[in-house]
Amino acid sequence: MSSQAVEDYLKAIYKLQLRDSLVTTSALAEYLKVKPASATGMIKKLASSNLVRHERYQGVNLTSPGEKIALEVIRHHRLVELYLAEALNVPWDKVHDEAEKWEHILSEDLEDRIDEILGYPTADPHGAQIPSRDGTIDDRPVYQLSELEVGNRAIIAEVRDEDADLLRHLGELKLYPQTEIEVVSISPFDMLMTIRSYLESGNSGDLVIGQKVASSISVTIL
């Protein structure tokens, strides 16, 4: 098994674990866009290398060595995203795909140089936390925007970075990390949300978004 494939699987399991402590084979296969049989085969190989724990018919989660590798790859990815955005002015909807290529080949020396030139950042352009050099990441209480109720005020903490079209849409709406928002109304049937965004300029504006968009935005409640 290639080191890139191992890293891709470990990273995917880490991200899926944030939603559920045990990751099912079907969820992993869907996330990585592979056949369930391929995911099952890789899980067995990762388990034999003590990178994951696998409970048959239950799911899989990372061991400490597996989590360390996953967080290192995620650190590379998010540092590269920020470097591309800040140093090279690559739009935030394009940095993810480029970082996917860099994350597996970034040397520790280059990683440290990027970290230093960026001023030791703690978040990538989409608000996702960058793991520290020693492989730790802060645990912060966040909720999906779709979970909020009318009257709730919050700060956008992070937006999902895998969907370039979605990122372009969020950019057009100016729904960036650190933007303060308030839920104005939620329609009872289709659950469309009207939210008010408070921009740095001091202006505010009301936006109507669907559940797919709301579910892609993580927030901290004020």
Q: What's the CATH code of the domain at 77?
A: 1.10.60.10
Same domain, residue pair 42 and 81? no
- The average pLDDT across 60-73 equals 94
Q: What is the pLDDT of residues 3-26, one digit of tens each?
A: 899 999 999 999 999 877 788 999
Does the structure show a pLDDT above 90 at 136? Answer: no
- Residue 181 belongs to some domain of the structure: yes
**Alpha-carbon distances, residue 96 vs 49, 142, 151, 164, 173 (angstroms):** 29, 22, 33, 8, 20
Query: pTM for this structure?
Result: 0.88
- Residue 29 belongs to some domain of the structure: yes
- Residue 99 belongs to some domain of the structure: yes
Same domain, residue pair 132 and 78? yes
Say how many domains are in the chain. Answer: 3
Residues 199, 201, 205, CA angle at the centre, nearest 5°? 40
Range of the domain at 82: 73-139
8-state DSSP, 3: H
d(CA 167, CA 156): 14
Contact 84, 97 (CB under 8 A): no
For residue 109, what pLDDT band results from cuts at 50, 70 and 90? very high
Q: What is the pLDDT of residues 193-202, one digit of tens each?
A: 999 998 766 6
